[in-house]
Amino acid sequence: MKSALFDLPVQIVETIVENAFGWLVVVNKEGTIIYINKNYCDFLEVEREQVLGKHVSGVIENSRMHIVAEAGKEEIADLQYIRGNYMIANRIPIFSDGEVIGAFGTVFFRDTKEWMQMNSHVKSMLTKIQSYIQEIDRSVKYSLDDILGNSGQIQSLKEKVKMVAASDISVLIRGESGTGKELFAHSIHQLSNRSHQPFVKINCGAIPEHLLESELFGYEEGAFTGAKKGGKRGKFQLADGGTLFLDEIGDMPLNMQVKLLRALQEGEIESVGSTSPVKVDVRIIAATNRPLEKMMEEKRFREDLFYRINVVPFMVPSLRDRMEDLSLLIDSFIKKITKKSGKRISSISDEVIEKFHQYSWPGNIRELENVIEASIHLTSSEMITIESLPDYMKESAVYPVGKKNLKDILEETEKRILTQSLSKYNNDRIEAAKALGISKSSMYEKLKKYGIE
DSSP string, 230-290: T-B--HHHHTTTSEEEEETGGGS-HHHHHHHHHHHHHTEE--BT-SS-EE---EEEEEE-S
Helix, strand, or coil (residue 389): coil
Domain boundary pick from 57, 84, 110 = 110
Determine the average pLDDT of the residues in 127-142: 51
When pLDDT is cut at 50, 70 and 90, the band that residue 159 belongs to is very high
pLDDT by residue (tens digit) across 7-36?
556 667 677 767 666 788 999 999 999 999
When pLDDT is cut at 50, 70 and 90, the band that residue 170 belongs to is very high
Residues 410 and 388 in one domain: no
% of the chain at pLDDT higher than 70: 85
pLDDT by residue (tens digit) across 106-129?
887 655 555 555 556 555 555 544
Q: What angle do CA 202, 206, 210 make, to 5 degrees?
A: 95
- Residue 132's pLDDT is 40
Residues 382 and 436 in one domain: no
Please indicate, yes or no, if residue 69 is contained in any of the structural domains.
yes
Domain boundary pick from 299, 317, 335 = 317
* pTM, 2 dp: 0.61
When pLDDT is cut at 50, 70 and 90, the band that residue 5 belongs to is very low
Residues 148 and 160 in one domain: yes
Q: How far apart are CA 76 and CA 78, in angstroms?
A: 6
Rounded to an integer, what is the distance from CA 332 to the centroid of its chain?
Answer: 21
Q: How far apart are CA 145 and CA 158, in angstroms?
A: 9
Please indicate, yes or no, if residue 137 is contained in any of the structural domains.
no
The CATH number for 102's domain is 3.30.450.20
Residues 157 and 94 in one domain: no
Please indicate, yes or no, if residue 211 is contained in any of the structural domains.
yes
The CATH number for 369's domain is 1.10.8.60
- Residue 82's pLDDT is 75
Q: What are phi and psi of 223, to 5 degrees?
A: -65, -30
CB 61 within 8 A of CB 82: yes
Residues 388 and 415 in one domain: no
Q: How many residues are present in the chain? A: 453
Q: What is the DSSP letter of 311?
A: S
Rounded to an integer, what is the distance from CA 378 to the centroid of its chain?
Answer: 36
Please indicate, yes or no, if residue 1 is contained in any of the structural domains.
no
Q: Which of 73, 83, 67, 72 is nearest to 23 (CA)?
A: 83
State which H helix or E strand residue 312 sits in: strand 312-315
Q: Which of 117, 27, 28, 92 is nearest to 40 (CA)?
A: 27
- Residue 15's pLDDT is 75
Spatial CB neighbours of 163, under 8 Å, sequence gap ≥ 6: 117
- Residue 401's pLDDT is 58
- Residue 331's pLDDT is 94
CB 119 within 8 A of CB 146: no
Q: Is 221 exposed, middle or buried (0-12, 13-18, 19+ CB in 10 A)?
A: exposed
Residues 295 and 169 in one domain: yes
pLDDT by residue (tens digit) across 316-329?
999 999 999 999 99
Residues 291 and 411 in one domain: no
Please indicate, yes or no, if residue 312 is contained in any of the structural domains.
yes
Least confident range from 68-72, 147-151, 239-243, 340-344: namely 340-344
Determine the average pLDDT of the residues in 152-168: 92
The CATH number for 436's domain is 1.10.10
Q: Is 263 exposed, middle or buried (0-12, 13-18, 19+ CB in 10 A)?
A: buried
Number of domains the chain is built from: 4
Task: Give the domain range for residue 355.
Answer: 320-395
State which H helix or E strand residue 217 sits in: helix 209-217
Please indicate, yes or no, if residue 273 is contained in any of the structural domains.
yes
First to last CA, the chain: 71
When pLDDT is cut at 50, 70 and 90, the band that residue 414 belongs to is confident
Residues 258 and 220 in one domain: yes
Q: How far apart are CA 372 and CA 82, in angstroms?
A: 57
Q: Which of 201, 282, 297, 316 is nearest to 249 (CA)?
A: 201
The CATH number for 163's domain is 3.40.50.300
Residues 201 and 312 in one domain: yes
Mean pLDDT of the residues in the chain: 84
Q: What is the DSSP letter of 386?
A: G
Residues 93 and 196 in one domain: no
- Residue 210's pLDDT is 84
pLDDT by residue (tens digit) across 30-70?
999 999 988 888 888 899 999 999 999 899 988 999 999 99
Please indicate, yes or no, if residue 60 is contained in any of the structural domains.
yes
Residues 215 and 234 in one domain: yes
- Highest mean pLDDT out of 186-190, 207-211, 337-341, 436-440: 186-190
Please indicate, yes or no, if residue 370 is contained in any of the structural domains.
yes
Q: Which of 235, 138, 156 is nearest to 195 (CA)?
A: 138
Spatial CB neighbours of 211, under 8 Å, sequence gap ≥ 6: none
Residues 285 and 391 in one domain: no
